[in-house]
Chains A and B, each alone.
Chain A
């Protein structure tokens, strides 16, 4: 089974702190994604990566950056956390086939005080 693992289920940070959210997948997938989930807004794409060191902005990249140094790992970085970044963050991965099924991690719930 595909496994996507997010490093932290729950985090509490203070405004202005730098935050790292880590995601690792074990299926050698080329594509990895970071989504943000908010009630009433569904999932919104922050960034995605289609190869090592390659990245593209999604719909809401402001205030975030990403890093993909190895194929299995995709990190989301909040350089200076703000209260409006309090949210659930979901990592996902998929291979290059047309079936397009995304495999998700369990999510990281971030609270910024």
Chain B
């Protein structure tokens, strides 16, 4: 069975600070994909960043980057120069490799960016 665990229910930082959201996962697969999704208040969930397990290089999308530690099964999200618009629920998710489309989600972390 695949599981995803986010141990930080809530986090709060000041605008322009850097914040790291934690995620650990468990899977017996060797080929899989990891995702971070963002759900702003009363708005649709959107993809922030994705990581293929076979790639050693950490994914980066502008101010968002991940620290992917495959052996430790850890996949944290770093948000640099945080902005008020980053306030949202963030979900870590895991998907098996080719041919599988289902995602398993973590519990979510509510992130608040304070002015």
Range class of the B interface residue count? 20 to 34
Partner of A58, one of B6, B35, B37, B102: B102
Q: Check B50 against A100 for contact (C-beta < 8 Å).
A: yes
Interface residues of B in 71-115 (CB under 8 A from A): 91, 95, 97-98, 101-108
B33 and chain A: residue at smallest CB distance: A100
Specify which of A41, A42, A50 is in contact with B101 (CB 8 Å cutoff): A50
Do the beta carbons of A100 and B106 come within 8 Å of each other? no
- B91 engages A100 (CB within 8 Å): no
Chain A's nearest CB lies how many Å from the CB of B108?
5
CA A31 to CA B100, docked complex, whole Å: 10
Q: Which residues of B contact A22 (CB under 8 A)?
A: none
Question: Given known contacts A40-B9, A105-B44, is B101 in contact with A94 (CB within 8 Å)?
Answer: yes
Residue picked from A4, A33, A41, A42, most chain B C-beta under 10 Å: A42
Is there contact, CB below 8 Å, between A101 and B47? yes
Measured CB to CB, the closest approach of chain B to A100, in angstroms, equals 5
Contact with B along A18-41 (1 / 0, CB 8 A): 000000000000010101000011
| Total A-B contacts with CB atoms under 8 angstroms apart | 54
Question: Within residues 40 to 88 of chain B, which ones have a CB less than 8 A from any CB in chain A?
Answer: 42-47, 50
Are the C-beta atoms of B107 and A31 separated by less than 8 Å?
no
- B105 partner residues in chain A, CB cutoff 8 A: 35, 42-44
Instruction: Name the residue on B nearest A109 (C-beta).
Output: B42
**Interchain Cβ contacts under 8 Å between A and B, 27 examples:** A33-B102, A40-B9, A40-B107, A42-B4, A42-B91, A42-B105, A42-B108, A43-B91, A43-B105, A48-B101, A50-B101, A90-B45, A92-B45, A94-B101, A96-B101, A98-B98, A99-B50, A100-B95, A100-B101, A100-B103, A101-B47, A102-B37, A102-B103, A104-B46, A105-B44, A106-B42, A106-B43
List residues of chain A with CB under 8 Å of any chain B CB.
Answer: 4, 31, 33, 35, 40-45, 48, 50, 58, 90, 92, 94, 96, 98-102, 104-107
B interface residues, Cβ below 8 angstroms from A = 4, 6, 9, 33, 35, 37, 42-47, 50, 91, 95, 97-98, 101-108
